[in-house]
């Protein structure tokens, strides 16, 4: 190992379970971070400092002032310039560690592009904000036998779980179907930076251990930093009837379970049947703190300028103000949850 590299990572190499052999593995590794927000920005920073040789950063969104409270990699200048998060993160990485390669992709991960974007990665970190994309990652990683690490946080609560194909239960073993109804989101229920950094740190630690040693503890970690509660339980055994890991039916990867999204007239996108059983009245109470809301027995209209969202009780939505499907899906995930 080159002396400058030895010096840079000396404190990490001195950690006996990792050592020089583990550091070599990190330097040779390629990791994809899907979503570069509160969790993903922290993943990028930690893995860049740890010396993971190649990072692919995939995010469809832009830096906003409200991100700065918890998204550790970004600065006020990034928000003022409305930089894409993937680009801002890549620029930060060059300042943190010029010795690694970074590939920023301003993109919405879909069944059509996932193979190209995740080609030859050794591990995937979940920094996403919706179950649809997580199920897609789960299908792809199972098919390609790539480990990935699920994580989520909202309010003061978060959880994380490593998924190693052939060794652990997968996401659909634990969550056979997406949650029904509108979900808590950072936009509607808030989030503490402490919980996002804590969950992301556990995810990053699992990633480093997997890359360096090929091993990881098979457990689910939950945490509430406001209540001061942390819990770890063993992961359940793989479900012998799981459609994904047992029967190898990759319904999100082949598109049969992906919610249809289409252009809807002039400057609008329609999202079909994402989240059934939505309580429009409960959703209205949350959203009216953010922007004007109108609701009746049939639908809810929400006006976060410059957009307008119409949400129906069966989960369908029309997003006006854009023809970009990625932006429409991002707005849906932000305000309604998915």
Rounded Cα gap, residues 123 and 111, in angstroms: 18
Q: What is residue 6's predicted lDDT score, i.e. its pLDDT?
A: 92
Rounded Cα gap, residues 299 and 295, in angstroms: 6
Domains in the chain, please, with CATH?
3-234 (3.40.50.720), 261-335 (3.30.310)
Q: What is residue 178's predicted lDDT score, i.e. its pLDDT?
A: 81
Rounded Cα gap, residues 292 and 172, in angstroms: 37
H-run or E-run covering 21: helix 19-28
Rg, C-alpha atoms of the chain = 20
Rounded Cα gap, residues 299 and 288, in angstroms: 15
Q: What is residue 338's predicted lDDT score, i.e. its pLDDT?
A: 64
Q: What is the mean pLDDT of each run of 10 residues along the chain (338 residues)?
A: 90 97 98 96 98 95 90 93 92 96 92 94 94 94 98 96 97 89 78 97 98 97 98 96 97 78 70 72 93 87 93 85 87 85
Per DSSP, helices labelled H in the chain are: 3-8, 10-13, 19-28, 38-50, 76-80, 85-96, 114-117, 131-144, 171-174, 186-189, 193-213, 280-287, 325-335
Strands 30-34 and 54-59: parallel
Per DSSP, helices labelled H in 67-192 are: 76-80, 85-96, 114-117, 131-144, 171-174, 186-189
Give the Cα-Cα-Cα angle 293, 134, 276 (nearest 5 degrees). Answer: 40
pTM over cut 0.75: yes
Which letter does DSSP use for residue 305 in this model? T
> Phi-psi region for residue 75, left (φ > 0), alpha (ψ -120 to 50) or beta?
beta
């Amino acid at each position: 190992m080159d002396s400058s590299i030895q010096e840079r990572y000396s404190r990490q190499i001195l950690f006996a379970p990792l050592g020089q052999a583990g550091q070599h593995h990190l330097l040779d590794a390629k990791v994809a971070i899907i979503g570069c927000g509160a969790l993903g920005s922290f993943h990028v920073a930690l893995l860049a400092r740890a010396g993971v040789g190649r990072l692919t950063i995939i995010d469809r969104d832009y830096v906003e002032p409200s991100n700065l409270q918890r998204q550790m990699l970004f600065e006020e200048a990034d928000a003022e310039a409305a930089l894409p998060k993937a680009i801002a993160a890549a620029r930060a990485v060059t300042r943190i560690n010029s010795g690694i390669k970074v590939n920023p992709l301003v993109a919405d991960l879909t069944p059509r592009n996932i193979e190209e974007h995740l080609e030859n990665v050794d591990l995937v970190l979940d920094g996403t904000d919706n179950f649809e994309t997580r199920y897609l990652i789960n299908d792809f990683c199972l098919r390609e036998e790539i480990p990935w690490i699920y994580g989520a946080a909202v309010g003061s609560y978060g959880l994380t779980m490593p998924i190693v194909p052939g060794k652990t239960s997968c996401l659909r073993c634990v969550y056979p179907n997406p949650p029904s109804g509108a979900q808590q989101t950072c936009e509607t229920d808030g989030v503490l930076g402490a919980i996002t950094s804590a969950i992301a740190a556990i995810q990053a630690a699992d990633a480093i251990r997997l890359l360096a040693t090929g091993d990881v503890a098979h457990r689910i970690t939950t945490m509430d930093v406001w209540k001061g509660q942390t819990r770890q339980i063993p992961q359940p055994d793989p479900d012998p009837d799981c459609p994904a890991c047992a029967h190898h039916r990759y319904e999100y990867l082949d598109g049969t379970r992906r919610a249809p999204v289409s252009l809807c007239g002039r400057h609008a996108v329609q999202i079909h049947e994402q989240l059934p059983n939505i309580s429009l009245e409960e959703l209205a109470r949350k959203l009216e703190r953010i922007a004007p809301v109108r609701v009746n027995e049939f639908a809810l209209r929400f006006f976060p300028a410059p957009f307008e969202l119409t949400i129906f009780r069966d989960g369908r939505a029309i997003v006006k103000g854009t023809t970009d499907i990625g932006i429409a899906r991002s707005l849906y995930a932000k305000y309604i949850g998915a």
